[in-house]
Structures are given as C-alpha cells and as structure tokens.
Structure 1
Amino acid sequence: MRSLTRQLSLVFAVLLLACSGVSMWLQVSYNARYEQELIQRLSADLARHIASTTRLVDKRGWRPEAMRVLFDELMAVNPSVEVYLLNDSGQVVGSAAALEQLKLDMVDLTPVHELLAGGALPILGDDPRQLGVRKVFSVATLEVDGQRTGFVYVILQGQAFKALADCLAADSLLRMTLGLMALMGLLTLMGGLVAFHLITRPLSELTYSVSTFDGQNLPLFTVRPGDNSWTREIATLSHAFEQMSRRILEQWQQLTKQDQDRRDMIANISHDLRTPMTSLHGYLETLRFKDSMLDAEERRRYLNIALGQSHKVGRMAQELFELARLESGLVQPDLEAFALGDVVQDVVHKFELSAHARRQTVAVDMLPGLVPVKADLGMIERVLTNLLDNAIRHNPPQTAIVVRLSARGKCIQVDVQDSGVGISADLRDGLFVRTSALRHAPREGGGLGLIIVQRMLQLHGSEVTVIPAKPQGSIFRFELDAA
C-alpha cells in the first residue's frame, strides 16, 4: 500500500508539472507576441519607404516592371519579408511569388485600417500564401493625384523566415522542454518526498497512538471495502478514532457501573453490618443490666452469641480491607515454584475438624508426579482456603468435598467439587460480582470470599469458573501455570 506521503508527493508533482507546462506555454506565447510587436515596430516604416521611393502606380495604372525590380531587390536584401500590392478593395494585384502560389487573392483590410489608424501593436493580418494564418505586417497607402489607389502590404515574417525559425526552434525547444521537465520532476520528487514526509509524520504517529489507545498491541485497522488508495491512511485514522470512541464509551459505561456497584455495595455492607452489630449490642446490654439475674450457663450462652457476632463483623471488615488492597493495584503476586499438591494437603488438614463437625468428608484426588506450579504461595493458599471454607459452610451434612488436581498441557487444573445442593443458574454468574455476592450472601459470612478468590487468580492470569457437577453439586475450577 502506497503511503500517504508518496501519494501526496505524486499529486504535488503532477500539479507542479502541469503548472510548469502552462507557465511555459504562457511564456512562449508572450515571447511570440513580444517578438511580433518588436518586429512590427522596427519595420513600421518599411512599407512607407517602399511606397515613397518606387513608383508602383501612375495614372495609367500599375507598373509591372517597377514591381518586378522592387520584388527582386527586396528578396535579395531581406528574404524574410514578402511584399504584396493591394488595390483599394484588398485584392492582390502584385506579388513576388507566382499567382498560383497564392492561397488568398483578397486580404482583409480591417487590420490594415487599424494599423494605419495607430492601433495597439501587435496587429496581425492575412498571409496570402497561407490560409488561416495571420502575421505581423507593415502597410502604406499608394496615391495618385491625392486619390488612394491601393496599398503596399509587407508581411514581415514570410515563409523563408518561418521555415528557418521552425527548424531552429523545434530542436532547441524540444531539448529545453525535456530538460526543464526532467529537472522539475526530479526537484519536485525530492522536495515533495521530504516535505510531505515531515508533514505527514505527525499524522502517522497520531494514527498509531490512537490505534493503540487501549494499551494493547493491536494491529493497524484494515480498510473498508470501497476505500481507495488515496484515502486509505485517512480511513485508517478515522477507524482508529471510531475504535477509540467506542473504547472510551465502554470505559465510561464501566465506570458508571462500577460507581453504581460501589454505592450498592456500601448500602449492602451497611445493612449486613447493622444486623450483627445490633445483635452484639443487644446481648451486651442484656449482660450489663441482667448480670445479677443470669446464671452461669445463660451468661456463657449470651457471651458466645456476642462473640460470634463480633467474629462476623471482624471477618467482614477483614474481607473488605483485603478486597480494597487487591483492587488498588498495589498488590502484585510474588511468583515462585512450589508443589501444589503439598499446599492442597496442608489446607485440607486444616478443615478436617470443621468438616467432621458438620458430618462432611474432605479428600484429595491427584496423580503422583505432577509438575510444580509457578505462583504466589500465600495467595494460592488463601484461594484454596476460601473455596474449601465456602464448600463446608454452604453445604448440608453428608456432603463429600474433593480437591482434584490434574495436568492440562502446560497448566495444572484445580477442581474443588462438592456433592451438595448445587448453585442455581441465576446465581452462578453473579458469584464474582460485588453487589450480587453481597445481595445473596449467606448469613454465615459477608459474601466477598469468592470475589477475593477471583481477584487473586486474575493477578495470576487465571479465573475461577463454576460448573454443575454430576449428579449434583458444584465444581469451582481454575488453572495455574506450570513452573
């Protein structure tokens, strides 16, 4: 694809050459008129001199002998002129050429009278030897006894002059024209390429900057059908601006949605915090005002309830703080190679007692010889902890929970599967959205654990997905890169 620089340079060169051609044509035309005026002014008295020095007509009429002598002398002295004798009506009555060489036997007298009246030069008149050709001339009247009987009509650039001038001018004009065109073309090409490169470079840089506006290594935009080579780069910039405007609109919509989510989250958190705080406050007041009336067992029960509500508030505050750190962009994973199976075993051991208390089973299913993974050990341990904690707390007794590890190409796939009641389709897509998670959060927690899991995995270039298990239950699945 020709670049915009070369296209503009080509257009500029064509226009400049066209203007140069028109300028040369005007210059040649001006020089020709200048030459005609110069010759006509210099030879203005030639016809008058001929008329005054030679008796070409008398009372008996035209004198052929005098005309023949005159024509011979003039042709010998100045072969570039041609002398004609015209009667009062403009008819050619005498010439140095034979009558059969004449193409006109009548000369238009309008230019003759104009020249005699002192009109603006150059004034062109008919050439009897060439049809449709007008040339500069000199003219004088012939009178007998004060009566005009005709004219001495002198063509100042006759056929001999024209033949010699054409012969000399054709070769020199061709050389000059070709030389000027070649020089102009070379200078135009060099100057145009340099000038338009400097002019269009900011446009090319702007096109590239806009096309990569979203920070991704995007290819240059393709041209729509119908775009021609002259508008291709402008079309590319136009498409880049369209892409940028769509990207800005998408980002604006995302910001609007995030702002609304933030408002909803604050409202939901306020509601979720108010319930345990009210309960905690109520039990503490009861202990304060009825302390003397409570026995040891009731006092212990009230304290345990208050402590549970306090733990719930502390857990929600910790989750909010952790989520804020993850979304701030300040937290980055500290990647290292480790055996994922060992981490899974340690996390499962931590939940064996709580699972046993709920009459649930927790097991690990993995093949021996799995390659290590490259990830942040602390984050992955937290991911597994949150997933197992959710699986234990949100499923009924007699539920079997399995953590399964398997190799998938250059990744290790992790499945946390339970045989519980499963997750409905309308809730599945909102598990990792703050407002949806808080809205449908269980009573035991704040609903932010899965969002924290998703953010941590996104920092590792992965995501957690939820799929239904067969015959029942759910599977939380994610992948980690092998070391």
Structure 2
Amino acid sequence: MKSLRTRVLLLIVGFGLLMATMLATIMYASVREYYNDWIYDKSSSFAERILEAHPNLWRDYEADPASFGQQLRQYTLYSPNTGLYLIDQNGRVLASAGEPRQFWGEFRVDLDPVREAQGGDPRQPVHTTDPDRQGDVCMVAARPVVQDGRTMGWLFVVPRQASLGEQMPEMLRSYAIRTTAKVALMTIAIGVLLTIAMIALLTRPLTALTRATEQVRRAGFCDELCESSFPDLDRDDEIGRLSRTFRDAFERLKLETERVQTTDARRREMVASVSHDLRTPLTALIGQLETIRLKGEALSDPARREMLERALQNAQHLRRLTEALAELARLDNPDFKAQPEPIAIGELADDVVQRFAASAQGAGVTLSVDYPDGLPLTRVDAALVERALSNLLDNALRVTPAGGRVTVKVRPEKAGVRVEVVDTGPGVLPEDQPKVFDRFFQTSRARDQRGASGLGLAIVKRVAELHGGQAGLRSEPGRGSTFFIELPLSA
C-alpha cells in the first residue's frame, strides 16, 4: 500500500466494483419493471379482447351464473397460469376460471385502487387484493363490464407470472443475469483500463521528478541543474508548476549550500589559524611562568606566589583550549576521513588507562580497566579513539573525588563494541544531560572546575560519528556517570 500506483489502482477497482454493483442492481430492477409492464400490458389486452368479443358478458352471467365459470375457463385455455374473475361492484367474486374458494362468501376485493386507476394512466399496473389468496396483494388488469351504459361489475385478469424472482420465465431470467454480468464486467474492464492510463499519465512526470530529486540529493546540492533533469517544466498544469517550484528550490538550496560551505570553510580556517598562532606564544608564556616559579620559590610573599600559580594554570588552560579548537576544526573538515585499521580495542583502552594511572593516583582515585578476553578486532582509527577515550578519562578524573573509582569497560555488542567510562562523581543534572555533547557547553559543576573547555565531549561525539557510531551518557545525580562510545566492527 506504499505505492501511489497501488493505491490509485485499488481505489479505481473498488469504485468500479461499486459502480458495477449499482449498474447490475439498476439493470435487474429495469428488467423486472419491464417484465411487469409487459405482463400487465398483455393481461390488459387479454381483458379488452374478451370484452370486445363478448359485449354481453354480464347478460351471459345472469343467464347462467352456475356455468359461467366454465365459460371463463375456456377463455384461459391457452393461458392456464392466468386468473380470470368476474367481480361485482361491491368487490364480491361472482365467478372464476379456477376452482371456487370457500372464503368467497364473506370475502371482498378492494376496488378502490382499481377505480383510482381508471382516472389515471391505464398503462400503469394496478395492485390490489388477490381474489385467490386471502390477505395477499397482486397485480391485476381490471376492465369494467358495462351493460346498457351502466358498469355492472369488473373483469379481473391476474397474471400469475408477475413475480420476477419466483415465476419469471427461464429465458428472461437468463437474459437478466447475462446482461447484468456483461454490464458488471464491462464496467470493471473500462475502470481498470482508465486506471492504468490515469496512473501512467500521473506517475510518469512524478517518477521523472523523483529521479531528478534523487540526483540532486546524491550530488549534495552542488552540481549544476540541467533542463533535462526536469522534462515537464514547459507544462501549463500542476505538474509543470511543481517541476518549476522544485527547480527553483534546488537552485536556492544550491546557492545556500555553497554559501554555508564557504562560510564554514572560512570559519575552520580562521579557528585553525588562530589556534596555530596562539600555540607558540602560549608555549613560550608557560615556559617563562614555569621558570619564574622555579626561581621564585624563595619569594616571601604568598600572595605573589598564588598569583603566579593562577597565571600558570590559566595559561595551560588556554593552551588546552586552543589545541581542542584546532583538533575540532580538523575533524569538522569535510575532506577529513578516519583511517581505520584492525586493532585490539581492549588493549588500546588499557594503554590509555596506564597513561592516566599517575594522575589518578595523585588525585586519590582508583583507576581500572575491564575487558573480556577474545574481543574481535575492530576497524577504527586508533589515534582518534585514543583521543576520545583520553577526553572521557580526563573528565572522569576531574569530577571524581578522592577515594572514588573510575573504570573503563569494553563490551562486545551485536555489531560492534561499546567503550564505557564509569565514574563515581556527582553525576550530571537531568536538565544538563541532553546538552553535554554540545560545543562550549559546561555544566554548572564543570564551570567551577579549572581545565574544563567545553570541547572535550564535542570531540568525543565527532570521533564516534566519523566511525559511524554514537556517543551517549547515563547518569544519576549523586551516583556517578557513565559515558560511552559505540563503534561498529566494520567502521
């Protein structure tokens, strides 16, 4: 049901079935009405021929009422299914071509519909009480029996084949069924053909427009648009307007993409240049401050010694910030690609932990690594993963108090590995968790700590993205945090 063609086809076929059913019902009703009219016309003509051939029909009845039924039976000799009755003005059955009924003594035929029909269209069938079936209604052809200018009674002709569903002749029934089936099949066939034509008419330009859109998307909105990509631009209908709208939108997106790429390239170039230019004077400044501190150990003024220490810490922080900016600008470059190679991710994590062991011991924090034997080799850029893991460990050691624990865990996943850094620090507030990987974002606790740049976790996230993985966080305030990187085996 996802295809437009399928939906339109099902809609038209459903509509065709509905129309076929309606037409079949109308055809069946028309055949039934035609049959009833034909039977009624035939019965009326039969009654009129009897009265024309026997103008003294009432006198014949009066002359011999007992044998008059035999005379009526002679009239229906060649139509045994036709009921023929002589009715008086009160609706009492006087004689019949069939067998007499016991209930005729008190029974009266309702003549009001018959009298009303005399003043209307004589071709319209009349329905009134059935003389042979007490309580039933049937179609009758009634003609007045006149004697000496006076209406003495009524000659009733009741066609017993008037019911289309019960007594319709087999030939007429077959005709009705065959005609209904043909109309239904023709309606469905025409509907399907029209559907196919309409689908082709509608989807051809949409398919061409889809191909053009896919081509532009694959090119990243950078290639020049050619008129052949939009073959329906000259059309004067909705498809033409849609094609022109798409072309104009793609041209605008191309211009905006080029502008954004140019701006982004200039930004990265500026950040890299500034970072590079700052690195040399910062290194010199830190060296000079270190020299002053070493030679000024004998300074008697504690305030000056404290100011010197703060200046040295700020200079080191500024150097780390410039290095992080340069690294992030390098990773953001569209031309930069990770260089994956098969490595033992567990051993890489162990090497990084060993490098931070001295810092952890000096801070009074227990640092350990945990990974199972037999981990499969993972294709990753070792330098990038090492940098991301170092940033996570640096953050964890900074927030974990003395006596706490930081653990690096490497676990196999369904299609990759998961590297976790678990600490027992204060945790991250719930409102800060969605933003911890944003650039330059610092939590309220991190802002109080020296050395936090707000770029370390952004680099971690970017490294994970370059490998086709993701970075995340699980944390409960007061119970520590778990930062993790998920890396696919085939990154």
Give the TM-score normalised by structure 2: 0.48
Give the TM-score normalised by structure 1: 0.49
